[in-house]
Amino acid sequence: MTKKTYEELGQRVGALVDVKNAAYGSSFDDAGSFLRILYPNGIQPEQYGDALALVRIFDKMKRIATDRDALGESPYQDIAGYGLLGLRRVETSREAAKVEAETGIDRVSTLPPPPKVPEVPESTEKQITTTSNSWSRFFPNVDKPPTGGITFTGKKTNSGKKIKRQ
């Protein structure tokens, strides 16, 4: 790939915008009016996610109304996708509210929780113990094998002075 200048990239993007606006019309220019109809009293912070989804769906609705099959895209499929994304967000948010009501814990995120970490099998625990016991044969002056990462002792080294490298 050759390195393109910003001017070349801008011309390419501009040409794409021209093609899409010719095919679909400019929903970019009409989205503000659309939001004013749906939210005549303004958009509250808790409505931002829904407002964003509606703008994206509005864009696809304009495509259906102007040239549904232009450029080989499927606006109905896109709308279905936005519906699934919205449904997941709403259901996850409801689940989080239920957890918060039951436990008093505010999860903040509406994303699903991360997967649970599997428990270490007993055989692995035995391997760790065996490794720890055999460690002392090779390093008699060291109490335990390193466990990885950095251990912080809370002690400052060199009294904050710079270390001279040799």
In a domain? residue 75: yes
Residue of 155 and 50 predicted with greater confidence: 50
Question: Which residue range is the domain that position 67 belongs to?
Answer: 6-103
Q: Look over the chain and give the mean of its residue pLDDT values, rounded to a whole number.
A: 79
Short-list 49, 60, 55, 56, CA closest to 24: 60
3-state DSSP assignment of residue 145: coil
In a domain? residue 29: yes
Say if residue 52's pLDDT is above 90.
yes
Confidence of residue 40 (pLDDT cuts 50, 70, 90): very high
In a domain? residue 157: no
The share of the chain scoring above pLDDT 90, in percent, equals 36
3-state DSSP assignment of residue 74: coil
In a domain? residue 84: yes
pLDDT of residue 55: 94
pTM for this entry: 0.54
In a domain? residue 73: yes
In a domain? residue 158: no
Q: What is d(CA 92, CA 6) in angstroms, rounded to the nearest whole number?
A: 41
In a domain? residue 165: no
Residue 100 near residue 106, CB atoms below 8 Å = yes
Average pLDDT over every residue of 42-57: 94
Average pLDDT over every residue of 47-65: 93
In a domain? residue 148: no
Q: Total structural domains in the chain?
A: 1
